[in-house]
């Protein structure tokens, strides 16, 4: 039996057919896989939910949400994430495995060794990614051998959605690390049989060599964190390089604002690639994959056979189709680490159903502008002068500003005195030929109106700022730096 459903078929099912499919797959998953999860076994018992009770997507409402706090390890409980890994044993298999699987074992069609090997292939964790975050300890999400096959398949689907075909050459510009972006890009290029180069990003291969590779190997597709891509394209443009082979820039790991798209497009035009397509992705470590736009204007195309996405309000009430709200994720297929009704904290403007007006696929699409919680909650929401400030607002404001080349926000104490008030410096390298005083006045007003704080805006030479950002030395550039002494 094939491991995955045929993507061409899944991506063209009618909405009502998708519902039937999701109900069936959810029923099967909850009945035969979820009992292998120590966390969900305990949760179902506590709330008196039977594994047979969840028959349709609508029944999901009976299951309490899972939050980051339930999964993230703490100093007191460092093994928490292990509770989310499916771990079948003999007793659990006898109680919960599907009849087909049991029959094969009981009727001796499989030897003891066959059974052992199959179980290990399906469940034994062999690979992992970590979530990033400053407040919580890094949380591992594990993949079994079967999951790696599914991971490849989801990478294949992503590229298929975006029209990235095997005749194109690909450069993986994500930082080499145990994070989803690098590995999904790696497997997607490999599974799609693209001739590809995994660079490991600026820290590993270095910007200069990556620029050389794009030009000399005539790369057609490049995957990047958008902030780093901008830096690399600017360097390449200054060197008057030829990137005319470049057809697609695929971005991950950060929100892509319209202003940044505009600036990236201008640089690409200078490099001889005026028609480069800038495609964004939405990745979720907990979902173990990512979703992609089929073109610059569409939403992120979901895989209805692999997950259920619910949209809820702040009290956790499920909202009708098309409503804006928080994205809640439930797996329908993963082994290894698996989550059900996971509250992402990511806010979207809604999910679109029916055929996509660009590619015709009928898979639901999450509208592209998503406010990520990973940026807000655990990293960028900071207490400044006693007020909570959403530092996330700085990204579109400064990266999207046409006359800003690079920027960094530094939070410190007045005179570096721990008892003093907080102050915010916005360090800016303006574009060549821009009047700084004029830019400073404009930015000051914008920051005041959109971030609701007052900040000192200071001019910084580009070279020095790039060093401070760690463009070539950090996995991810240091945009927001908190220099206040820890209390
Ligand atoms: Zn589409």
DSSP state of 66: B
The rounded Å distance from CA 363 to ligand 1 centre is 8
Range from 46-55, 367-376, 465-474 carrying the lowest mean pLDDT: 367-376
Report whether 161 contacts 138 (CB < 8 A): no
Q: How many Cβ atoms sit within 10 Å of the Cβ of residue 87?
A: 15
Sheet hosting strand 351-352, strand order edge to edge: 195-198, 169-172, 221-224, 248-251, 277-284, 289-292, 300-301, 365-366, 351-352
The rounded Å distance from CA 250 to ligand 1 centre is 15
Q: How many Cβ atoms sit within 10 Å of the Cβ of residue 317?
A: 9
Is it the case that residue 31 has pLDDT exceeding 70?
A: yes
pLDDT (mean) for 149-173: 98
The rounded Å distance from CA 359 to ligand 1 centre is 4
DSSP state of 110: S
The rounded Å distance from CA 235 to ligand 1 centre is 33
Residues 435-468 have pLDDT tens digits of: 999 999 999 999 888 887 888 999 999 999 999 9
The rounded Å distance from CA 303 to ligand 1 centre is 12
Residues with CB under 5 A from ligand 1 (ion): 294, 298, 356, 358-359
The rounded Å distance from CA 2 to ligand 1 centre is 26
Decide whether 145-371 matches 376-482 in CATH topology: no
Please give the CATH topology (third level) of the domain spanning 7-144: Rossmann fold (3.40.50)
Is it the case that residue 400 has pLDDT exceeding 90?
A: no
The rounded Å distance from CA 364 to ligand 1 centre is 9
CATH-assigned architecture of domain 145-371:
3-Layer(aba) Sandwich (3.40)
> Domain 376-482 has what CATH class?
alpha beta
Question: What per-residue confidence (pLDDT) applies to 474?
Answer: 79
Q: In the chain, what are the domain boundaries?
A: 7-144, 145-371, 376-482
Query: pTM value?
Result: 0.88
φ, ψ at 40 (rounded to 5°): -75, -25
């Amino acid at each position: 039996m094939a491991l995955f459903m045929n993507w061409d078929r899944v991506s063209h099912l009618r909405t009502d057919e998708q519902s039937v499919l999701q109900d069936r797959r959810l029923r099967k998953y909850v009945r035969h896989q979820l009992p292998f999860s120590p966390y969900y076994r305990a949760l179902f018992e506590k709330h008196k939910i039977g594994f047979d009770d969840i028959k349709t997507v609508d029944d999901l409402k009976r299951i309490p949400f899972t939050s980051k706090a339930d999964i993230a390890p703490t100093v007191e409980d460092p093994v928490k994430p292990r509770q989310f890994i499916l771990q079948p044993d003999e007793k659990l298999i006898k109680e919960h495995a599907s009849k087909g699987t049991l029959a094969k074992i009981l009727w001796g069609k499989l030897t003891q060794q066959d059974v052992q090997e199959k179980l290990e292939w399906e469940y034994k964790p062999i690979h992992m990614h970590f979530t990033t975050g400053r407040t919580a300890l890094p949380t591992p999400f594990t993949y079994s051998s079967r999951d790696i096959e599914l991971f490849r398949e989801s990478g294949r689907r992503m590229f298929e959605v975006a029209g990235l075909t095997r005749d194109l050459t690909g450069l993986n510009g994500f930082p080499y690390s145990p994070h989803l972006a690098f590995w999904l890009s790696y497997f997607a290029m490999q599974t799609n049989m693209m001739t590809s180069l995994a660079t490991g990003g600026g820290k590993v291969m270095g910007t200069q060599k990556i620029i050389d590779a794009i030009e000399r190997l005539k790369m057609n597709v490049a995957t990047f964190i958008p902030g780093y891509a901008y830096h690399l394209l600017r360097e390449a443009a200054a060197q008057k390089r030829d990137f005319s082979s470049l057809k697609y820039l695929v971005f991950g790991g950060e929100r892509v604002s319209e202003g940044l798209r505009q600036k990236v497009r201008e640089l690409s035009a200078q490099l001889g690639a005026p028609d480069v397509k800038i495609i964004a992705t939405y990745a979720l470590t907990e979902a173990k994959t990512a979703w992609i736009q089929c073109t610059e204007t569409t939403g992120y195309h979901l895989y209805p056979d692999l997950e259920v996405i619910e949209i809820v309000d702040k009290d956790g009430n499920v909202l009708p189709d098309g409503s804006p709200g928080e994205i809640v994720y439930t797996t329908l297929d993963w082994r290894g680490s698996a989550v059900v009704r996971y509250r992402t904290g990511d806010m979207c403007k809604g999910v679109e159903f029916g055929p996509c007006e660009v590619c015709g696929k009928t898979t639901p699409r999450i509208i592209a502008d998503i406010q990520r919680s990973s940026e807000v909650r655990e990293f960028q929401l900071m207490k400044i002068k006693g007020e909570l400030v959403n530092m996330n607002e700085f990204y579109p404001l400064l990266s999207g500003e046409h006359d800003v080349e690079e920027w960094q926000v530094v939070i410190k104490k007045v005179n570096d005195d721990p008892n003093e008030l907080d102050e915010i410096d916005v360090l800016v390298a303006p574009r060549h030929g821009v009047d700084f005083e004029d830019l400073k006045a404009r930015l000051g007003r914008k920051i005041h109106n959109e971030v609701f704080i007052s900040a000192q805006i200071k001019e910084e030479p580009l070279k020095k700022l790039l060093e401070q950002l760690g463009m070539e030395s950090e996995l991810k550039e240091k945009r927001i730096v908190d220099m206040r002494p820890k209390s």
